[in-house]
Amino acid sequence: MTADALLCLCRAGFEPELAAELTERAAEAGFAGYARTQRASGFVEFVCHDAAALDRALPFHQLIFARQKLLRLADLRELDPTDRIAPILAALEATTAEGPRSTFGELWVEHPDSDEGKPLAGLARAFANALRPALREAGWLSRQDDASRPRLHVVFVSGQHAMLTRSDTRDAAPWPLGIPRLRMHPDAPSRSALKLEEALLTLLDDGERKRLLRDGMRGADLGAAPGGWSWVLVRNGLHVTSVDNGPLRPHLLDSGKVEHVRADGFHWQPKAPLDWMVCDMVEQPRRVAERMATWMREGWCRHTIFNLKLPMKKRWDETRLCLDLFTAQAARPMTVRARQLFHDREEITVFATLR
């Protein structure tokens, strides 16, 4: 049995954006196919002749609206609630017709993060506990979790419909549903701190976090009030200039690492080059992209994370336009990554670093 589709999870309501992104990126990579989804479902299927090759051609870190990227092995419908395990084992056995048996390193049983999918969380947990020993007994799952091997995913769409999928742990999100579980710290000035924490966890790898976030570095937070993003930078060892005409939470200033400058973030510039600049200002995305490009072009910072607030329509088109505008106007060699994070809403988060 040959994999017939990519299955990508996303934020409910952003299926059209993910479908448009997959369609465009597949065409650029030379693959013909089509996206299939329903509004508010929380996932998109991209069907093509050689889904495995497309999976390799579309690295997960390049996708913006996908929380998780999976290769679908079987679409199992009309499952009998009294025995869902047998059809899964049979589907796995069918894969041996295409090659040697694979042993998976982990099993994740999941569901879309949607109104219809969330009630399946209990089923997913219980079924994982029942399926795991059956897979090990049949030789499909290693006796201990092994992240070096492919991961097996069962994604429930309903109690009678599940998709059997796999992922390469080096090319997929390392969290179930693609969602890192972060908790609001009691000292955080605002919930927006979770967005920057997730961005640092999602858009940078372990080596980059150690290399690019070090004690004594200096950064700026544009549109800082009440200080959530400044607080995250301070926790990572930075000295921060928080730029906003509005007030910061008083305890943030007690750290001794924050200077509050009452100014407009779109016009302020540093007196000397900084390591970091972050920005979560509510403004037209093209205007933000242009200002961020100025920072990189002029060498005012080496690394940046910023948000682009998207319009209600043609959000994929606006995303491509803003990212192209940013890279063109920065006019310097950069590594750029973007993602719609779990803690984002009508926006995407961008990380850029000078090469």
pLDDT tens, 287-321?
A: 999 999 999 999 999 999 999 999 999 999 999 99
User: Predicted confidence band at 1 (pLDDT cuts at 50, 70, 90)?
Assistant: very low
Quick check: bond before 16 cis, omega within 30? no
DSSP 102-124: --BSEEEEE--SSTTTGGGHHHH
pLDDT 10s digits, 151-192? 999 999 999 999 999 999 999 999 999 999 999 999 999 999
CA 51 to each of CA 1, 2, 191, 202, 277: distance values in angstroms, whole numbers, following the listed order: 12, 8, 39, 25, 39
Rounded to whole angstroms, how far apart are CA atoms 260 and 47? Answer: 52
Number of neighbours of residue 179 by Cβ within 10 angstroms? 18
CA 317 to each of CA 301, 313, 337: distance values in angstroms, whole numbers, following the listed order: 28, 9, 17
Q: What's the one-letter identity of residue 65?
A: F
Q: Could you give the percent of the chain with pLDDT greater than 90?
A: 95
In the chain, CATH 3.30.2300.20 sits at 5-178
Q: Which of 257, 309, 313, 314 is catalytic?
A: 309
- Which pLDDT does position 102 carry in this prediction? 77
Q: Is the pLDDT of residue 67 over 50?
A: yes
Q: Is 192 annotated as a binding residue?
A: yes
- Which pLDDT does position 192 carry in this prediction? 95
Q: Is the pLDDT of residue 100 over 80?
A: no
Q: Is 228 annotated as a binding residue?
A: yes
Q: Is the pLDDT of residue 116 over 60?
A: yes
First to last CA, the chain: 43
Rounded to whole angstroms, how far apart are CA atoms 289 and 319? Answer: 10
Residue bearing tokens 């899964």: 88
Helix axes 121-137, 85-95, angle to 10 degrees: 50
Q: Is 225 annotated as a binding residue?
A: yes
Nearest 5°: phi and psi at 64?
Answer: -100, -45
User: Predicted confidence band at 3 (pLDDT cuts at 50, 70, 90)?
Assistant: confident
| Percent composition of the chain: helix, strand, coil (DSSP 3-state, to 5) | 35, 25, 40
Contacts of 106 (CB under 8 A, 6+ apart): 141, 145, 146, 147, 149, 151, 152, 169
> Catalytic annotation on 309?
yes
Q: Is 220 annotated as a binding residue?
A: no
Q: Is the pLDDT of residue 143 over 70?
A: yes
For 193-354, give the CATH class: alpha beta
- Summarize the confidence of residues 2-30 as an average pLDDT: 95
- Summarize the confidence of residues 326-352 as an average pLDDT: 97
pLDDT 10s digits, 314-323? 999 999 999 9
Structure tokens at 271: 């007196």
pLDDT 10s digits, 234-265? 999 999 999 999 999 999 999 899 999 999 99
- Summarize the confidence of residues 51-76 as an average pLDDT: 96
Single pTM value for the model: 0.94
In the chain, CATH 3.40.50.150 sits at 193-354
Sign of CA dihedral 118, 120, 122, 126: negative
Q: Is the pLDDT of residue 19 over 80?
A: yes
Rounded to whole angstroms, how far apart are CA atoms 99 and 286? Answer: 49
DSSP 157: E
39-49 core/surface letters (b: 16 or more CB in 10 A; e: else): eebbbbbbebe
Q: Is 148 annotated as a binding residue?
A: no
Residue bearing tokens 């959000």: 315
Rounded to whole angstroms, how far apart are CA atoms 82 and 132? Answer: 17
Q: Is 275 annotated as a binding residue?
A: no
- Which pLDDT does position 55 carry in this prediction? 96
Q: Does residue 82 sit in helix, strand or coil? A: coil
- Which pLDDT does position 108 carry in this prediction? 98
Q: Where are the alpha helices (DSSP H) in the chain?
A: 15-28, 51-57, 85-95, 121-137, 193-203, 206-212, 228-235, 250-253, 285-297, 315-330
Q: What is the mean pLDDT of the chain?
A: 95
5-178 CATH fold = THUMP fold (3.30.2300)
Q: 68-72, 92-96, 194-198: which has the minimum mean pLDDT?
A: 92-96
User: Predicted confidence band at 96 (pLDDT cuts at 50, 70, 90)?
Assistant: confident
